[in-house]
Structure 1
Amino acid sequence: MRRLVLVLGDQLSEQIAALKAADKARDVVVMAEVMEEGTYVRHHPKKIALVLSAMRHFAQALEQSGWTVAYSRLDDAQNGQSLCAEVLRRAEEFGAGKVITTRAGEWRVIEAIDALPLEVEVLEDDRFIATHRDFDLWAEGRKALRMEYFYREMRRKTGLLMEEGEPAGGQWNFDHDNRKRAEPDLLRAKPMEFTPDEVTQEVLTLVEARFRGHFGQLRPFSYAVTRGQALRALDHFLRYQLAGFGETQDAMLAGDAFLNHAVLSPYMNLGLLSPREVCDRVAEAYAAGEVPINSAEGFIRQIIGWREYMRGIYFHEGPDYVRRNALGHSRDLPPLYWGAKTDMACMQAAVAQTKALAYAHHIQRLMVTGNFALLAGIDPAQVHEWYLGVYIDAFEWVEAPNTVGMSQFADGGVIASKPYVSSANYINKMSDYCSGCAYDARVKTGAGACPFNLLYWAFLMRHEERFKSNPRMAQMYRTWDRMEAGKRADILAQAEAFLDRMCAGETV
């Protein structure tokens, strides 16, 4: 009897477990573009186009290699517009009673597949270094699940940047070397861009018609949509950008969206690139003396450290993780996140870049848009849905822990030992945003005071009972206690007035 092999839109690899277990001679690969996946959050049009174009190209590659592929296009008249509806339609069409699939990366999809009235064989996704069991065993009995210690285990397991059992360069982490400001440089290389082919052009036209109201600019579109293109993007990064990646990986420039960031995460998250092959290439570049250790280590840590750790947390903590709200924040996400005018130059730049590119690097996400949402007391569920929707590389298994845990501290400290909050000083130190801002990063209170300065202290006071005894935050509370009482009252009153204006829809 024929079986269906369900391949999801982020499983675009011929090495995916379900394809490796299938029989090319008798099984049918099922792939489906459905409105349900494009609209459960309001995904950026570029993200939708990337996924659909990559799926179509992958389906073509499977057919060329001899697979029978039942592919449902979004505008097919018979399309049931949900994954499960399309699986059931194909099961009836081909007389299949069994489905083989690789475990999805999102609880929502896992639960939907589990509910199918068919025999379903779910295989573990072996594209990752740590299995769910590996992570659970590592986490068992630990008081704190800190990424740094998990990362060291991944280094030992993979052998990446290891020399006779010890970390290359004599230490595990070179983060202290990677905190420099960046200077504008018109000659700095950019991530590789690709001209849309006929398949992609057709997808762009479809997305324009079906997702017109979604936040974000669809064109121009220049992301890789095939494995071949993704490999070229990797080669380009290794040759032109990796060496300079480390020092300025936390820096931000208003006129340079990418600096030396690779923008390879969309391709890894879709399956076009293997995370291990990417890390192997980076390690080889270091071994050949082509890049410094701080760049190689910093990049590899993002993949076998943070990326693997976030997936581990997502599945370890369970389906309710995305709904956690340990700090009780409840304000609505303000219109400025959807492109409404704001006088805060950093927020204006980060959101405008997101709208245009569906991309912002990790510090823009964590210390600008995420920092502001946390300081302002925005509902973390709304923040989570925004990040999941607007970024080209956002899939829930990796996005939710970064947002709910690391950025918004809504998990109560599962990931972070303290909230990632800062005043304007950090943004001013690491970017050029503040130089042209209507607010003054150096002004703490009164006319022209940066909202980040006001909201920082208001946040600390709002959660004083929870954080004052935290050793990493105690110094800031002592600083507050030394302030003159009138100044403290002014700061809190001005912070509250700012939030009132923001919630009333005024430009802030």
Structure 2
Amino acid sequence: MTDRRLILVLGDQLSRDNPALRDAVPGRDEVLLAEVREEAAYVPHNRHKIALVFAAMRHFADTLAQEGFQVHYRPLEAGLDSLEAAVAATCRRRRYAGLWLCEPGEYRLRTAMAGWRHRLGLPVAILEDSRFLCSHARFRDWARGRKQLRMEHFYREMRRDYGVLLEPDGSPAGGQWNYDRDNREGWRDKVAIPPRRAVRNDARTRAVLEAVAAAFPNNPGDLSRFAFAVTAGQALAEFDWFCEHALPDFGRFQDALADGEPWLFHARISMYLNIGLLEPLALCRQVEEAWRRGRCSLAAAEGFIRQVLGWREYVRGIYWHYMPGYGERNALGAKAPLPDFFWDADTDLRCLSQALRQTLDLGYAHHIQRLMVIGNFALLAELDVGAVCDWYLAVYVDAFEWVELPNTLGMALHADGGLMASKPYAASGKYIQRQGNHCAQCRFSPARTTGEGACPYNALYWRFIHRHQRAFEDNPRMALVLANWRKRGTSAQNAILDWADRLMRELVPGVDPR
């Protein structure tokens, strides 16, 4: 009877803090990593994402082998369709006492694994992912009995749990929990954007890029521009660069939009966090230390920490707390078809085309581009919720369903009926003009609502408000907007609605705007 265990490591669990690896013994336990078609192709993933995950997996396998583990690596060329098939093929060659793995981050995969013990004929231990800072039980305890699960309240408890940005008496640093109001400045060339450090692709990564290009020729992603870290050391160097060069201005301009500038002052580390190359609490500690040493403002430090310790943990909690039914929600009944320009960026709306082109080519867009440009358009045009969520899951390099679904369905589309957000994140073209410089190069004017040359976001915004005013009737945060719409005369309202219906027919072919 063997005591040898097979440890399956998934592509988003590339950390030595993976609970399945924590007590593993080199020379006894063996490790399996597999690039399988099912995981790479269940949506048309951006090739940057596939390449990042596969390259990071191969480098992580090298690290484990150097530690003395026997590593079974199944590349995409092996032709395995699923993770289950990869485990079964490995188990046919050797006997194991059991299969150990960390729980997957997506509900569909967790459901598939439920039958592994029976189908594989060996014990299967699925361990809770302890790399996150809020366990499933901790989130359930926090959520129990609450009428509203607001992130701000959750975030404060996480700060207390981990002693982050607190004064000695336990009060928030600086006397406030949230400095978001200080972090909404438009950029407009006020300070120079620091050039990003170069990431050199080694031979192993170049081989992955070639394999991905051959296997997924029609997926989005310009692989000639691939420049992501693929090891923990490289990812940490990226973060150290951010803390030194971009963090001081990150807070002020984190909501800014800038034509032709994809990165601005953002950390660009969400993809590394989400596949295990970086650990969240260590990053929060490092940013807090930067503030305490006077290297950035409190608003910048708090804004970063809120995204990692607050928002990231919160959306994961929401996902597991409400799945599987969460993914089926569509509170506003949105069902318009996804326009073709979501896949080719061929639209005259400058802000939207820039965000889409950047997304498709690089697999990256910052949170305001995702929420207030692309997501805002999808909300106002009432695009089909499932199609939009699938698109977000496909195109972003950091997208896994636990983080993508609440951010898209809940925040961007308000399809959960306000479970996450107290009001829809709907905005006219004036918001986009205020946050960036796209409008100066756009043929549409945010100052106009109807007629040729009027910004489509304006009329679509009022159409959205008109169509859902009953749903927002009892929402105090929507009272002023509803009042502004209702005080317009009937003829003015009809002019806007008629123009919005025309826009819908032009922008979303095949839709019945009424």
From 42, 45, 53, the counterpart of 2:44? 42
Aligned equivalents of 2:215 and 2:510: distance in 1? Answer: 29
Give the aligned partner of residue 215 of structure 2: 210
Give the aligned partner of residue 197 of structure 2: 192
What amino acid does structure 2 have at the position aligned with 1:414? L
How far the C-alpha of 1:340 sits from its partner, in A, is 4.3
From 330, 353, 359, the counterpart of 1:348? 353
From 56, 59, 64, the counterpart of 2:58? 56
Give the aligned partner of residue 372 of structure 2: 367
Is residue 319 from structure 1 mapped to residue 324 from structure 2 by the alignment? Answer: yes
Aligned equivalents of 2:195 and 2:403: distance in 1? Answer: 25
Report matched runs for 1:75-474 at 5 Å: 75-76=77-78, 79-116=79-116, 117=119, 118-164=122-168, 165-184=170-189, 187-474=192-479
Instruction: Determine if contact 1:91/1:97 at 8 Å carries over to the other structure.
Output: no
How far the C-alpha of 1:434 sits from its partner, in A, is 0.8
Instruction: Determine if contact 1:191/1:263 at 8 Å carries over to the other structure.
Output: no
* CA shift digits 1:167-202 (9 cap, x unpaired): 111100000100111023784214433111000100
Moved more, 20-29 or 458-467: 20-29
Instruction: Determine if contact 1:155/1:161 at 8 Å carries over to the other structure.
Output: yes
* CA shift digits 1:245-275 (9 cap, x unpaired): 0011000101211111000111111100101
Instruction: Determine if contact 2:393/2:401 at 8 Å carries over to the other structure.
Output: yes
How far the C-alpha of 1:476 sits from its partner, in A, is 1.0
Instruction: Determine if contact 2:220/2:361 at 8 Å carries over to the other structure.
Output: no
Aligned equivalents of 2:235 and 2:340: distance in 1? Answer: 35
Moved over 6 A (4+): none
Instruction: Determine if contact 2:80/2:86 at 8 Å carries over to the other structure.
Output: yes
What amino acid does structure 2 have at the position aligned with 1:29? V
* CA shift digits 1:1-34 (9 cap, x unpaired): 2221010000001111000132322111011001
Moved more, 213-222 or 328-337: 213-222
What amino acid does structure 1 have at the position aligned with 2:201? P
Aligned equivalents of 2:159 and 2:191: distance in 1? Answer: 36
Give the aligned partner of residue 31 of structure 1: 33
Unpaired runs of 5+ residues, structure 2, are none
Q: Classify the secondary structure of the residue corresponding to 2:7.
A: strand
* CA shift digits 1:188-231 (9 cap, x unpaired): 21443311100010001001100001122121211000011011
Instruction: Determine if contact 2:193/2:264 at 8 Å carries over to the other structure.
Output: yes
Unpaired runs of 5+ residues, structure 1, are none
Q: In percent, how many aligned pairs have the same letter?
A: 48
**Matched residues, number:** 504
What amino acid does structure 2 have at the position aligned with 1:313? I
Aligned equivalents of 1:503 and 1:428: distance in 2? Answer: 23
What amino acid does structure 2 have at the position aligned with 1:121? A
* CA shift digits 1:116-170 (9 cap, x unpaired): 1232101111111110000010000000000000000000011111112011111
How far the C-alpha of 1:339 sits from its partner, in A, is 1.6
From 464, 480, 498, the counterpart of 1:493? 498
Instruction: Determine if contact 1:193/1:223 at 8 Å carries over to the other structure.
Output: no
How far the C-alpha of 1:401 sits from its partner, in A, is 0.5
How far the C-alpha of 1:240 sits from its partner, in A, is 0.4
TM-score, normalised with respect to structure 2: 0.96
Instruction: Determine if contact 1:114/1:120 at 8 Å carries over to the other structure.
Output: no
Give the aligned partner of residue 22 of structure 1: 24
